[in-house]
């Protein structure tokens, strides 16, 4: 399991290591005795117990068998998969193409009632036009994905936008002013996207804020993130996709969102910035 910048992922790894250590002790075994029963090197069990080396699913099965607790293997393997899923490199998430990666996120969007999203790079996916989405995903595919299923992935993302209209959900989006002016997809696609933002920003269940470019801004830009209710934060980094569930970390992102919202422009003032960006491209 790759190293993650999140304490959520680290806590999940430590919780699994603690459970395995407890099994060993309950069975009356030392780490060395367990390693011998499993046919491992003397140091392997110690590295797993101290969360320095993540176990494989096979390691967990062997561990449980050595401790006479084979019935617990399933639960512990589920813990392993949860920990692994908190930090996923793009090359692993997208090895089968972009469509599957887009589909995997749909259940999270469907069960969420309150969305908060901040983007310093791109228009958030739920607000994207088809042309803009195609430009985004084509750029991703060219940079890091061997499989070309961009058309199918675009269709999945467009279908996911139904959550904007269903279930009485609430949405708050914050974008940096530079997002309005990055020219992604060319001027025609960008103008269409800017017009779409103005339309969506007028919807009663959608709040759209633009953080203006100014020399004295009190809050620096940060990495883009999504907050799903109060349960989870997703962060898209250059190297991978991070899932945060630790309440203290989720609260930090919620606080950051609130601080950025305080300096953002909303309503007519935000629409003026969008119109200005559009005018500069015409």
pLDDT tens, residue by residue, 12-22: 888 899 999 99
**What is the DSSP-derived secondary structure letter of residue 277?**
H
Domain final position from 34, 59, 86: 86
Domain check: are 183 and 79 in the same one? no
Q: State how far the Cα of 149 lies from the Cα of 129, in Å rounded to an integer.
A: 18
The answer to whether residue 1 sits within a structural domain is no
Q: State how far the Cα of 157 lies from the Cα of 125, in Å rounded to an integer.
A: 7
User: Rounded to whole angstroms, what are the CA distances from 158 to 44, 143, 144, 154?
Assistant: 47, 22, 22, 6
pLDDT at 3 over 50: no
Cα–Cα–Cα angle for 245, 88, 122, nearest 5°?
85
Tally of domains within the chain: 2
- pLDDT 10s digits, 64-78: 999 999 999 988 887
Give the contacts of 166 (CB within 8 A, at least 6 positions apart). none
Other Cβ atoms within 10 Å of 262 Cβ, number: 11
3-state secondary structure of 176: strand
Q: pLDDT band for 1, please (50, 70, 90 cuts).
A: very low
If we measure between CA atoms, which residue out of 260, 116, 257, 118 comes closest to residue 175? Answer: 118
CATH of the domain at 48: 1.10.260.40
């Amino acid at each position: 399991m790759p190293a993650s910048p999140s304490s959520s992922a680290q806590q999940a790894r430590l919780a699994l290591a603690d459970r395995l250590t407890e099994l060993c002790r309950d069975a009356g075994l030392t780490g060395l005795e367990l390693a011998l029963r499993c046919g491992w090197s003397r140091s392997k069990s110690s590295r797993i117990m101290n969360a320095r080396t993540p176990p494989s699913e096979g390691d967990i099965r062997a561990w449980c068998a050595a401790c006479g607790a084979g019935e617990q293997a399933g639960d512990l393997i589920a813990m392993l998969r949860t920990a692994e899923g908190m930090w996923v490199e793009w090359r692993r998430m997208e090895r089968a193409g972009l469509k599957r990666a887009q589909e995997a996120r749909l259940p999270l969007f469907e069960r969420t009632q309150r969305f908060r999203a901040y983007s310093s790079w791109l228009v958030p996916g739920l607000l994207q036009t088809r042309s803009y989405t195609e430009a985004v995903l084509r750029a991703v595919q060219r940079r890091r994905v061997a499989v070309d299923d961009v058309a199918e992935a675009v269709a999945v993302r467009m279908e996911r936008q139904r959550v904007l209209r269903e279930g009485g959900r609430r949405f708050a989006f914050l974008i940096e002013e530079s997002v309005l002016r990055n020219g992604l997809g060319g001027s025609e696609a960008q103008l269409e996207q800017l017009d779409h933002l103005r339309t969506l920003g007028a919807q009663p269940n959608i709040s759209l804020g633009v953080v203006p470019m100014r020399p004295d801004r009190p809050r620096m830009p940060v990495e883009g993130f999504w907050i799903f209710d109060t349960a989870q934060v997703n962060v898209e980094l250059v190297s991978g996709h991070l899932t945060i569930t630790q309440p203290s970390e989720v609260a930090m992102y919620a606080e950051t969102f609130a601080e950025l919202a305080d300096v953002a422009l909303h309503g007519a003032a935000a629409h003026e910035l969008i119109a200005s960006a559009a005018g500069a491209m015409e």
